[in-house]
Chains A and B, each alone.
Chain A
Amino acid sequence: MNWSIGSVAEVLAETDRTASIALTVPGWPGHRAGQHVDVRLTAEDGYQAQRSYSIASAPEDDSLVLTVERLDDGEVSSYLVGELHAGDELELRGPIGGYFVWDGSLGGPLMLIGGGSGIVPLRAMLRHRIAQSSTVPVRLLYSGRTLADLIYHDELLAAMREPGVDIRFTLTRERPAGWDGYDRRIDPELIADAAWAPADRPLVYVCGPTAFVEVAADALVSLGHEPGRIRTERFGPTGR
């Protein structure tokens, strides 16, 4: 798979720690919602570093968008969120991955469960679902620490007005006055409340930090969801 040079059209701050990088990539072959790209940075002395980032945009969107979370020790993420700006170029290749993807042919109902920046590939799926005017019913459960940590919050609030789209938030650390969403870390009871019933046979996509995905996927299996209809993408360390 060949490397391409994309031009950075815009870097949009989403939260304190995350930014969306809109790219124009000549010859970009298109992607499916949920796929990722590899990004490669090269220093003047030839030193290189590579990382993978989920694609945040829908296939229908005008530009290719990556939403990146700056990690405290992030060699690449701290460059992408902080140094990179419009007019720069960025080397990347992709799209990569063919399993953690959704399009209308896979049907539904569609259940998306995201923790933290795990929302990024799920947002691509949701945008695709809406852009296609698909009638597949979709629910999104999105867990963040505080309201200010929720990426795409305004966009998701607007998406809730679309027919067949149901979005629920849970805030695990701090909640604004009058908050009417969930108020705790995900657990089997919360999943049972927010998700489609096993009898509805939803197709489930779970993305987030490892511990989040383990809890969500284990809860879904114990509730009676078919393991083969639960697709996961994990990131980050286990601490073990």
Chain B
Amino acid sequence: MHISRGFHGRRRAAADPARVPPGQHVTSDFPVLSAGPTPRVSLDDWTFSVRGQLDEPRSWSWAELQALPREDITVDIHCVTKWSKLDTDWAGVSLDTLLEGVETAAEHVLAYCDGGYTTNLPLEDVTGGRAWLAYGYGGDPLDPEHGGPVRLLVPHLYFWKSAKWVRGIELRLDDEPGFWEGYGYHNYGDPWREQRYAGD
């Protein structure tokens, strides 16, 4: 371990260390990180699709998504750029609801988005009550800057996996790296194992 001369640090007494993964610090802000302009989409034209390895592709309009069972989710989120935010409040629909009854040989999903962003995840990480389509944040509709109208919410992985402006997922037999995964970020991205970059 390399000691930094003269560095003492400001430990944040308020944060429970058991909730802050290694290398992260707690913020009360909600920083924004995006690779390009914020896409704007009309809700009239918005759909969410499940395609790829399933018998019949599925698709929901905005109204159809709103009619699905809504869950209120309170979770801690962790961004690879080192900030964590505790007890964030979201509203949305569980991916389990959208994938209910699907029979597939797929083991991977690739989420795709307005603006061209993609990210890959194991199918088992977006099922079992661990992933949502989020359309609400803090009691309000989700801001476009933060991924509205709808973003993926997969809080147990670094937050780049929680794709903003998501428009669908593709069920895949093989694992296709997404946008940041193709630029050297870790393929899986577990914050508790500090899997920030390829090889971590």
Using CB atoms and an 8 Å cutoff, list the residues of chain A in contact with chain B.
1, 3, 5, 38, 40-44, 46-52, 75, 79, 83-84, 88-91, 96-100, 210, 214, 217-218, 220-221, 227-228, 230-240
Contacts and interface: CB of A to CB of B under 8 A. Distances in A.
Contact of A83 (B1, B6, B10): B6
Majority DSSP secondary structure for residues of B touching A? loop
A99 B183 contact: yes
A3 B197 CA distance: 12
B164 to A, nearest CB: 12
B38 interface: yes
B11 interface: yes
B67 interface: no
Nearest to A47: B9
B198 interface: yes
A227 B1 contact: no
B3 interface: yes
B101 interface: no
B36 A228 contact: yes
Majority DSSP secondary structure for residues of A touching B? mixed
Contacts of A42: 1-4, 7
Nearest to B116: A228
Contacts of B31: 210, 234-238
Ranked nearest first, the 7 interchain pairs of A and B with the lowest CB-CB distance are A237-B29, A98-B183, A217-B37, A41-B4, A50-B23, A1-B197, A41-B7
Q: Range of interface residues on chain B?
A: 35 or more
Nearest to B179: A99
6 contacts: A41-B9, A50-B23, A96-B184, A218-B38, A238-B145, A240-B143
Interface in B175-189: 179-180, 182-184
Interface string B54-76: 00000000000000000000000
B193 interface: no
A220 B38 CA distance: 11
A107 B31 CA distance: 31
A79 B35 contact: no
Contacts of B11: 47
Given A49-B25, A214-B38, A43 B115 contact: no
B14 interface: no
Contacts of B22: 48
A44 B197 CA distance: 27
A1 B200 contact: yes
Nearest to A210: B32
Contacts of A227: 36-37, 39, 115
Given A218-B37, A230-B36, A91 B4 contact: yes
A235 B83 CA distance: 12
A51 B4 contact: no
